Chain A
Amino acid sequence: MNNKYETVFILTPVLSEPQMKDTVTKFKKILEKAGGKISNEENWGLKKLAYPILHKKTGFFSLFEFDAPSTAIAALELELKRDETVMRWITVKLDKYAVEYNEKRKSGAFKKKPESKETVKEEVKK
């Protein structure tokens, strides 16, 4: 019984670019081994955190949206826990409305004014 899930995780900013990509591909492989199919992958890059985590003020955000059997989640989360470079993660099961929303978001329906949204975000982060 395959369900749709979404995982967002934050990596430490201390890593270099290739190291980050390696870590992301590592988790992808773990998922695929456990029987998951990734339908969407997003990289938000370095973002300022609203509060310091492990004394770090920024983090490298990454998102996976995937189909997987429920057993795959435990395998993924175990690896996320073990990895020292992962600061935070959250896995969410997506219901039909969430899936609809994600489709719209992927197709860019919400990106009407990307510039104004980004400036608002910068003000908020201060």
Chain B
Amino acid sequence: MSLVNEPIHSTKHEYRKKYCRFKKSGIRYIDYKDPVFLLKFVNEQGKILPRRLTGTSLKYQRRVATAIKRARHLALLPYVGDSLK
């Protein structure tokens, strides 16, 4: 979906190319044991961020979600928190 051909709409919204970081960098496995990496996909309260904010594709968003849930089970990430970042 490119806004470049529709100049009327693009005046408000500065066009920033959204991309899935996993597809771009070729990462295939998301490790649940790495809370530092998973913090990128979680907000300050520890809630999982929607993929429209992180730009992740559906396939990887699901893997990220399972990784975060496993990390929460192992108490590497909290279920509910505050000022996580």
- A-side interface residues toward B, CB under 8 Å? 8, 10, 49-51, 53, 59, 61, 63, 88, 90, 92, 95, 97-98, 100-101, 105, 117, 120-121, 124
Contacts and interface: CB of A to CB of B under 8 A. Distances in A.
Contacts of A50: 72, 75-78, 81
A59 B76 CA distance: 11
Given A100-B29, A101-B29, A124-B84, A88 B75 contact: yes
A124 B36 contact: yes
Interface of B: 28-29, 31-33, 35-36, 39, 70, 72-81, 84
29 contacts: A8-B33, A8-B74, A10-B75, A50-B72, A50-B75, A50-B77, A50-B78, A50-B81, A51-B75, A51-B78, A51-B79, A51-B80, A53-B75, A63-B33, A88-B73, A88-B74, A88-B75, A90-B70, A92-B32, A92-B70, A97-B28, A97-B29, A98-B29, A100-B28, A101-B31, A117-B36, A120-B36, A121-B36, A124-B39
